[in-house]
Structure 1
C-alpha cells in the first residue's frame, strides 16, 4: 500500500498541473450558419428565386484561444473560416482561414496582433452600420467603404488600446511585400471611439495603395456601382464617422463615410459619399425590428458624372433562443443621376432598370 503512495501523489500532481494549465489556457470553437431563400425582382432582366447563405451573418466557423503568460499578459489567436453551406465551398476566394487569421499578445496597456485582420474602419464603425446589425443587403453601395468588412488586410500588424475613460483607439499597418518597394500594396488604418452610458461615437480612416492587388485579390468587386474603378486605382481612401444611441429597447444610429479611388477612371479620381440613418427596436425580448435609409452620392472627376443611389432596408427577427433565430429582410435600391442600373450588395447580378428589390427569409444558428 505504501509503495502506491508516491505513484498516487505523482498522479495527483500531474492532474493538478493539468488543471492549472487548463484554467490558464482556453481554446473555443465557435461559428454561425445562416441559410435561406432570397427573391429578387430583377437580375439581368429576370426575377430570381435562389438559396443564399450568410446574409444577416456570414456563415463561418473558427477557433479562438488564449494562454495566460502572467503579469496580466496573454497570448491570443484567432483562426476563422468562411464557407457557403449551400454548396459546402470555402468563402473568401477559397482561403481556409479567409475571414481572420492572427496571433498576438494582450497586455494591460494594449493588444498587438499580426496576420490577416480587419482594418479600423470595420473595428470602429461596423457596430453602427445597419449591415452588421441586420445583413449585408444593407451595406453602402456594394460595401464601397468597407464598413461591412468585405475586405480584410493581409500581412498586417495591429494595435488596440484598452479603454481609458471611455476612449479606445487603434492602428494597423500592412506590409505590401513587394521586392524593392516598402509602400506598394501597403495599407494603413487608424480609429478612435468613445463610449459613455448609452452613447457610442467613432471615427476611422483607411488608406490602401494598389487596392486591386492588395485588397481585392486582383479581381474586380462583384458590385457594378464601383467595380470599374478598382483595377486602375492607385489608392483607396475611406474616412468615416458615426454614432449609436441606445434608449431602452430602441437604438438609433447615424453614419457618414467618404471614399475615394485615386486615378480610378481615366487618370482621375472617383469618389462616393455615404449617409446612413438606422433604427432598431426590440418590440419584446424575442422580436427585433430594424430599418435603415442609405443615400450614396458619387462623382467621376474625369467626366463630371454624378451617380446617386437611395436604399431603404427593413428587417424583422424572431429569436427562438439565444442561439437560433429566423429573420425576414427586404431591401430596395433606386439608382438616379448618372446611374441607370441598381445593384444591391450581395445580389449576384444587377438590375436592368434603376430599381432592384430583394426579399429574404432565413434561419440562423450560432454555436
Structure 2
C-alpha cells in the first residue's frame, strides 16, 4: 500500500520539481557610503531658514551616486511566452541602518505579467515612464545621482519619488522603439483625480544614437508623492512653496545621447510647471543640461556636465536662474566595488537669492560648493 502510494505520487513530485526549475528569485543590492563637504549650508526650522545658523558642513551620507538599496525580484514561467514577475525594493541609510522614508519597500513593490510578444503589465509602487526612458540621458542618470540632479530634482529625473497605486505598461522593443505609460489611482472617494498621476514616454535606439521623450503629471504633488516639500529642518528654497500650493506638477522632458568609442555625449531638457490652485500664479522652470562620460581605462570612468535652469513666477514676474557644474571620477576596484570623488558648484542668478544643491539646505549666499568621496559595492 505504501509502495503504491509512493509510485502514484512520483509524477507529482517530478512535476513540482519541473515547475520550480522554471521559476527564479534574485536577491540584489547596492551599498553606497561617503563623506561630504559643503561650504555653506543654512539651518532650518519648521520649513523656514534660520538666519546665521549654518556654515560649513561635513557629514557621512548614504546613497548619492547610487541609492543604497536591497531587493528581491523574481519570475515564473507561465508557458506560451508569459511570465509572472515581481519586485520588492527597499532603500536604506547605510550610515544609520534606517529604512528609506520609514517604509519597508520605499522604492518598488509591484507584481504583474510579462509577455515576450506583447510587453509587461504591472501593479503597485513603481517608477514613472520618464524615469525609465528619459533619465538615462542626464548625468545623474549615468553617474553622480542626487547631487547632480536639476535643482532639488524638480523634474524627478533623478527618480526622487516612485508613484504609488500604479498600473504600468512597458512595450517590447519594436524597430528600436520602446514605449511606457502609467496611471496611478488616487484612491480618494468622490474625487477620482485627487492624488493621482500619469506618465507616458518613448525611447528610440539605433546603433550609437539613442533618444527619449516623456511627460509626467502629478495631481496634488505635496500629498500624492514623497517630493521635496519644505518641512522640519529641510527648506526647499527653489520651489518649496509652489510645490505645497500646486494643484498639479507637470513635467515634459526629452534627452538624447551619442556614443563615440569610449566617449558618450548627452543632452537633456525639461519643462516643469507647478500649477497653482488659483490657476494664475504658476511657477514655471526650464532645465537645459549637456554632459559627457568617458571611459578613460577599463577601471577609470569620468563624467562632467553643466545645467542651466531658468524660471518664471507668474505671480511676481520674478525670474530665478541657476547655473550648476558637476564632475565625477570613479575607479573600479573590481566588478562589484568602486571608489569615487565628485563635486558640484552652483551659482544662483536673477531673482534667485540662495544657491541650493539637491540634498542640502540652501546656502546663505548665491553660491554653494559640495564635494564627496565614497565607495559603492553591489551584490
TM bracket (short chain): over 0.9
Determine the structure 1 residue equivalent to 2:126: 117
Residue among 14, 23, 26 paired with 2:24: 26
Determine the structure 2 residue equivalent to 1:62: 71
Q: Cα deviations across residues 320-355 of structure 1 (Å, max 9, x unaligned)?
A: 1111000100100000000111110112x2111101
Determine the structure 2 residue equivalent to 1:99: 107
| Separation in 2, partners of 1:332, 1:9 | 73
Q: Cα deviations across residues 197-241 of structure 1 (Å, max 9, x unaligned)?
A: 111110000111111111137954853211121111011000011
SS at match of 1:40: strand
The offset of 1:66, in angstroms, is: 0.6
Determine the structure 2 residue equivalent to 1:36: 34
Q: Within the alignment, does 1:168 sit opposite 2:178 as a pair?
A: yes
| Separation in 2, partners of 1:363, 1:178 | 43
Residue among 288, 310, 323 paired with 2:336: 323
Q: Within the alignment, does 1:303 sit opposite 2:316 as a pair?
A: yes
Unpaired runs of 5+ residues, structure 1, are none
Q: Within the alignment, does 1:72 sit opposite 2:81 as a pair?
A: yes
Deviates more, 1:212-221 or 1:312-321: 212-221
SS at match of 1:230: helix
| Separation in 2, partners of 1:83, 1:200 | 32
- Check conservation: 1:223, 1:345, Cα contact below 8 A: no
SS at match of 1:327: strand
The offset of 1:27, in angstroms, is: 0.5
Q: Cα deviations across residues 10-53 of structure 1 (Å, max 9, x unaligned)?
A: 89756644542233100000000000100111112411111011
Task: Report 1:122-161 matches (<5 A).
Answer: 122-135=131-144, 136-161=146-171
- Check conservation: 2:152, 2:228, Cα contact below 8 A: no
- Check conservation: 2:344, 2:369, Cα contact below 8 A: yes
| Separation in 2, partners of 1:41, 1:138 | 17
The offset of 1:134, in angstroms, is: 1.4
Q: Within the alignment, does 1:230 sit opposite 2:247 as a pair?
A: no
| Separation in 1, partners of 2:64, 2:80 | 42
| Separation in 2, partners of 1:63, 1:279 | 32
SS at match of 2:155: coil
Shift in CA distance, 7/164, structure 1 to aligned 2, threshold 3 Å = same
SS at match of 1:195: strand
The offset of 1:245, in angstroms, is: 1.1
